[in-house]
């Protein structure tokens, strides 16, 4: 049966930790694209040689179905590349394979691995690799010190099954890891892994930039922040938004999902949680023991966990670090989008909506936003650019990345008749907050909009950004317009 790389990578019919072989969703035996059955070792002959299939997050390689060990060739190139850390923010990442996290490696217990580490000639630094799956000095670090333009090779036998972190261990080790030099290697047990429908690769990391969250431009590494363990960003898969919008992972109702979760650190422990789901099974710290019915699992820096769960109802499920300010203020937010029929016996959705106004009810105020954006907009395009970051910091958690809102809770900003009918009213809502019932695009909402402590300049920028996205009417909000709207606002 022919499969695309994507379908192989998300494992339609993969194998789980202690199962006996896997069936595809079509009922046929799954095969490893990199392992033709004709190359399997005999009891007396030499090990077959296999070129490892490596993938970028959130994809994982095809499942291993062979019943014998093999000699697996792994080739991993180190590159130092400038890539997006957040909208309008770039960073020089040091990478295994051109992305953060590094390539996902999948091997089988008792395989013999021939590991090639190549350091691109354009690199400015020497690098090496410490694979936690390796039994031997430095996990391979002592054998792989590799200068720019050089290649080193070493061999190891994988003895212990589990999910392991790998990272650079060249001095200063913390700086190499903080710049993105980490990834995961899965060592499947000899008996294979239980079948699931989808598998994904998710790895958290903390980043330390000179500018605060959202400060635009190419940001340098800040050693003082790293030593103080005060990251500017905490993200999944190397950047803010790497697992949201078009980049969200997907599944269908009734499917079983497995997440290979790693934490590169270098400093923070992750409290990994999927909002609206309970992990049926967790392999804590990537080992062989299991916990069941888990809400949140700790993933240590330099560690991992495997989580499994069945999705029963459709909707958007938010992946978070439940040290929750990291999620809504530093970027550790992802999305699993599930499609399929409703199951009202499990989840009804909202059944009643009515006004509840206890005595003393009042609009809350958000804490003062300390904006990293020192620039003052001189034109509409600049307002849109500055407003994009402000939106991510202050609005996205409720109104969502594409302005779609959350049904029954937070009104949409996309094609919003409430917004487009009266921009000055919307400016007043941002400045003063709003409580009570409103109708947006034909639906009634009765939630509270907190008062955002933004400057007039910031309000002009974020409103201009919203007006010029998601099917809204466009235009520019000026500083004078904000000042007048604030004074005239009544609700």
Only one residue has tokens 């990442």, namely: 93
Six-digit token string for 375: 């620039």
- Known binding residue 127? Answer is yes
State whether residue 284 is helix, strand or coil: helix
Judge residue 173's burial from the number of C-beta atoms within 10 Å of its C-beta, 0-12 exposed, 13-18 middle, 19 or more buried: middle
The neighbouring-strand residues paired with 307 are 259, 282
Residue 133 to residue 302: CA distance in whole angstroms: 12
Q: Which value, to the nearest 10 degrees, does the dihedral of the CA atoms of residues 157, 161, 162, 167 take?
A: -10
Q: How far apart are CA 469 and CA 415, in angstroms?
A: 9
Asked if residue 181 belongs to a known ligand binding site, the reply is: yes
Q: What's the farthest any 2 CA atoms get from each other in the chain?
A: 87
> Is residue 373 helix, strand or coil?
coil
Structural contact between residues 1 and 272, judged by C-beta atoms closer than 8 angstroms: no
Apex CA 400: angle with CA 395 and CA 402, to 5°? 110
Half-sphere exposure (CA, 13 Å, Cβ side) for 427?
A: 27
The response to whether 176 counts as a known ligand-binding position is yes
116 is in an annotated binding site: no
| CA proximity to 324, closest of 300, 345, 296, 343 | 296
> Element (H or E) spanning 167, and its range?
strand 162-167
- Alpha-carbon distance 300 to 163, whole Å? 13
Tell me if 398 is assigned to a ligand binding site: no
| Residue 236 CB contacts under 8 Å (≥ 6 apart), including other chains | 202, 203, 204, 242, 243, 319, 332, 333, 334
Known binding-site positions for Cu cation: 127, 132, 167-168, 176, 181, 322
Known binding-site positions: 127, 132, 167-168, 176, 181, 322
């Amino acid at each position: 049966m022919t499969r695309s790389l994507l379908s192989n990578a998300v494992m339609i019919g993969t194998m789980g930790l202690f199962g006996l072989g896997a069936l595809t969703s079509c009922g046929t035996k799954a095969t490893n694209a990199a392992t033709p059955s004709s190359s399997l070792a005999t009891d007396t002959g030499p090990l077959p040689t296999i070129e490892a299939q490596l993938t970028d997050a959130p994809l994982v390689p095809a499942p291993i179905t062979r019943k014998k060990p093999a000699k697996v060739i792994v080739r991993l190139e180190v590159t130092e590349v400038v890539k997006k850390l957040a909208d309008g923010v770039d960073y020089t990442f040091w990478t295994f394979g051109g992305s953060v996290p590094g390539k996902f490696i999948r091997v089988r217990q008792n395989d013999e691995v021939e590991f090639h580490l190549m350091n691109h000639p354009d690199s400015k630094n020497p690098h090496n690799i410490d694979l936690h799956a390796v039994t031997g000095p430095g996990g391979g670090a002592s054998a792989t010190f590799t200068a720019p333009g050089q290649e080193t090779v070493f061999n190891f036998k994988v003895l212990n099954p589990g999910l392991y972190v790998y990272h650079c261990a060249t001095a200063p080790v913390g700086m190499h890891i903080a710049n993105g030099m980490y990834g995961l290697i899965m060592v499947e047990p000899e008996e294979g892994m239980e079948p699931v429908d989808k598998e994904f690769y998710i790895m958290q990391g903390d980043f330390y930039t000179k500018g605060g969250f959202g400060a635009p431009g190419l940001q340098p590494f800040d050693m003082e922040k790293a030593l103080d363990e005060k990251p500017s960003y905490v993200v999944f898969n190397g950047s803010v938004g790497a697992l949201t919008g078009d980049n969200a992972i997907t599944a269908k109702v009734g499917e079983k999902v497995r997440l290979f979760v790693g934490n590169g650190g270098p400093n923070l422990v992750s409290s990994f949680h999927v909002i609206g789901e309970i992990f049926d099974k967790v392999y804590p710290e990537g080992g062989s023991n299991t916990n069941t019915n888990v809400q949140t699992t700790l993933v240590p820096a330099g560690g991992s966990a495997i989580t499994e769960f069945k999705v029963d109802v459709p909707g958007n499920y938010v992946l978070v670090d439940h040290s929750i300010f990291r999620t809504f203020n530093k970027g550790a937010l992802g999305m699993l989008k599930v499609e399929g029929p409703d199951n009202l016996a499990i989840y009804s959705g909202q059944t009643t909506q009515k006004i509840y106004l206890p005595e003393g009810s009042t609009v809350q105020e958000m804490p003062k936003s300390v904006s990293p954006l020192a620039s003052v907009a001189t034109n509409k395009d600049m307002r849109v650019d500055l407003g994009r970051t402000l939106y991510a910091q202050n609005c996205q958690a409720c109104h969502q990345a594409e302005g779609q809102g959350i049904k029954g809770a937070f009104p949409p900003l996309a094609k919003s008749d409430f917004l487009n009918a009266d921009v000055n009213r919307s400016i007043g809502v941002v400045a003063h907050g709003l409580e009570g019932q409103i109708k947006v695009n034909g639906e009634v909402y009765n939630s509270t909009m907190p008062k955002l402590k933004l400057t007039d300049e910031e309000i002009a920028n974020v409103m201009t950004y919203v007006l010029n996205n998601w099917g809204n009417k466009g235009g520019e909000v000026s500083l004078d317009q904000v000042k007048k709207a604030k004074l005239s606002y009544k609700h």
